[in-house]
Amino acid sequence: MKEIVVESLDGLKEVAEAVVESLDGRNVVAFCGAMGAGKTTLISAIMEHLGSDDTVTSPTFALVNQYGTAAGEVVYHFDFYRINRIEEVFDMGYEEYFYSGDLCLIEWPELIEDLLPEDAMVVRIEVLSPTERKFTII
């Protein structure tokens, strides 16, 4: 477990680097935090760290966005905030993504917790002030 407190957006580079370095062969990362805590912003910083030129936006209605890295790898970004039934996740074929070996970055994993691989990394984001965040990487 690793904890990092950042006082501004400038500190997200350190967090993004720590997340990528902590993967240890895992490919599913679950980002837990309140609405507005900075999940999408951190995912954007991770994609920047991986050398992506893609614009990162939350896939709130599409459920999944696909990005590319500088190394030519594929990264999937999920947002399950708006799912109404777990069957929606089955219908989208979540297993093909989660078990593909490609990096999967998941917002609102609490809504599909039982479907996450056992070895999924968890990144908890705690709002300490309007600009300060505490990141716990598990």
CA–CA separation, 138 and 136 (whole Å): 6
Residue 89 CB coordination number (10 Å): 18
How is residue 59 written in tokens?
A: 């896939």
pLDDT at 60: 83
Q: Are 109 and 31 in contact (CB under 8 A)?
A: yes
- CA 113 to CA 106: how far, in whole Å? 11
Give the global pTM: 0.96
How many Cβ atoms are within 10 Å of 114's Cβ, its own excluded?
Answer: 6
Q: Return the H-helix or E-strand segment holding 92.
A: none
Residue 29 in contact with residue 137, Cβ under 8 Å?
no
Tell me the mean pLDDT per 10 residues along the chain, length 138.
Answer: 96 97 97 97 98 94 94 97 94 97 98 97 97 97
Phi, psi of 74, deg, nearest 5: -100, 140
Which CATH number is associated with domain 2-137?
Answer: 3.40.50.300
Q: Give dist(CA 101, CA 45) in Å, integer.
A: 21
CA dist 88 and 84 (Å) reads 7
- Rg of the chain, C-alpha, whole Å: 14
Report the distance separating Cα 21 and Cα 3, nearest Å: 14
At 126 the pLDDT is: 98
